[in-house]
């Protein structure tokens, strides 16, 4: 079998130290590989997301970006976009301070800001939706004070609790949750420490990720909710996974700016069919 080597990076996103935040694999490409090969690379990496991008020489973007979990392609991913921007800025010699990324969710931008990167993402509106009793039971049985569905992803659910301790200590039945929720369940509560406006976690066993460590997309869902509740545009979230991570958010109309740092963990090569 003829093979070729490709560069690969693993970045800890939404963290300023190693072994925290959310790890993402980033594979820069000159041209697209077949979709089944992209999916197999993501499965082999076995991280919550692997990002691939190719350069664009014309139009209103610099790169075309796509994201894959170990089992499916997804339309939007924050931490793997942050990781990709980090690679573009710090490993590939990109000279500008803003990189434009064409995606299934439209044009996304990433901007250098001191030691961090600011992502400009689309707001993800929510609509009231009743959670089935068996989904609440699979989450642990505590009754949420409000429940929603994500309008753009009709299989994502949101459960709002009045106590951050419920969210922090939650131990869902992942095998059951995978059967009951086609995609993911976001749980959130008010912040419980100085400087934190919201606490959250994101469970997605249905697509091969029991719990995503730190999720940019999810903050495009909950930041507008908490900004409205608190009457302020700027909100800071802590995703209370085992690795944990802080995401600073600013809601501007139908966009959400997500600010986070990233660090390089791994740089190497992978071998794929030619």
Q: Are residue 16 and residue 115 in the same domain, yes or no?
A: yes
Residue-range definition of the domain harbouring residue 75: 3-122+260-273
Q: Is residue 153 part of a domain?
A: yes
Q: Looking at the structure, tell me whether residues 74 and 115 fall in a common domain.
A: yes
Q: Are both 131 and 91 inside the same structural domain?
A: no
Predicted pLDDT of residue 208: 82
Catalytic residue among 44, 49, 95, 146: 49
Write the DSSP string, 145-183: SEEEEETTEEEEEEEE-S-HHHHHH----HHHHHHH-SS
pLDDT of res. 183 = 79
* Long-range contact pairs involving 142-149 (C-beta distance under 8 Å, separation at least 24): 142/166, 142/170, 144/187, 148/225
Number of independent structural domains in the chain: 2
Closest CA to 209 of 166, 169, 162, 156: 156
Q: What is the pLDDT of residue 119?
A: 98
pLDDT score at 181 = 81
Indicate whether 213 belongs to any domain.
yes
Same domain? 148 vs 211: yes
For residues 111 and 223, membership in a common domain is answered with no
CB burial readout 72-106, b (16+ within 10 A) else e? ebbebbbbbbbbbbbbbbbeeebeeeebbbbbebe
Note down pLDDT in tens along the chain; length 274 residues. Answer: 899 999 999 999 999 999 999 999 999 999 999 999 999 999 999 999 999 999 998 889 999 999 999 999 999 999 999 999 999 999 998 989 999 999 999 999 999 999 999 999 999 999 999 999 999 999 999 999 999 999 876 679 999 999 999 999 999 999 999 998 887 999 999 999 999 999 999 999 988 889 999 999 999 999 999 999 999 999 999 999 999 999 999 999 999 999 999 999 999 999 999 8
Contact 47, 211 (CB under 8 A): no
269 is catalytic: no
Q: What is the pLDDT of residue 153?
A: 65
The answer on 132 and 113 residing in a single domain is no
């Amino acid at each position: 079998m003829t093979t070729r080597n490709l560069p690969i990076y693993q970045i800890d996103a939404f963290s300023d130290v190693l072994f925290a935040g959310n790890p993402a694999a980033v594979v820069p490409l000159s041209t697209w590989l077949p979709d089944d090969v992209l999916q197999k690379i993501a499965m082999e990496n076995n991280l919550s997301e692997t990002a691939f991008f190719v350069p664009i020489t014309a139009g209103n973007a610099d790169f075309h970006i796509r994201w894959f979990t170990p089992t499916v392609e997804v339309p939007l991913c924050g931490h793997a976009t942050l990781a990709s921007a980090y690679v573009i800025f710090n490993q590939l010699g990109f000279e500008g301070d803003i990189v434009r990324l064409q995606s299934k969710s439209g044009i996304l931008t990433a901007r250098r800001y001191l030691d961090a990167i600011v992502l400009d993402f689309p707001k993800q509106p929510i609509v009231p939706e009743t959670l089935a009793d068996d989904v609440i039971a699979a989450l642990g049985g505590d009754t949420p004070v409000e429940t929603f569905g994500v309008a753009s992803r009709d299989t994502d659910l949101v459960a709002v609790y009045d106590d951050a301790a419920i969210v922090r200590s939650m131990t869902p039945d992942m095998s059951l949750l995978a059967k009951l929720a086609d995609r993911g369940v976001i749980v959130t509560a008010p912040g419980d420490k100085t400087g934190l406006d919201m606490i959250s976690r994101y469970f997605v066993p249905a697509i091969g990720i029991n719990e995503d460590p730190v999720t940019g997309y999810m903050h495009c869902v909950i930041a507008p909710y908490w900004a409205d509740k608190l009457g302020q545009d700027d909100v800071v979230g802590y995703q209370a996974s085992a690795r944990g991570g802080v995401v600073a958010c600013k809601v501007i109309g139908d966009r959400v700016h997500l600010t986070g740092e990233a660090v390089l963990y791994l740089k190497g090569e992978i071998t794929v069919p030619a």
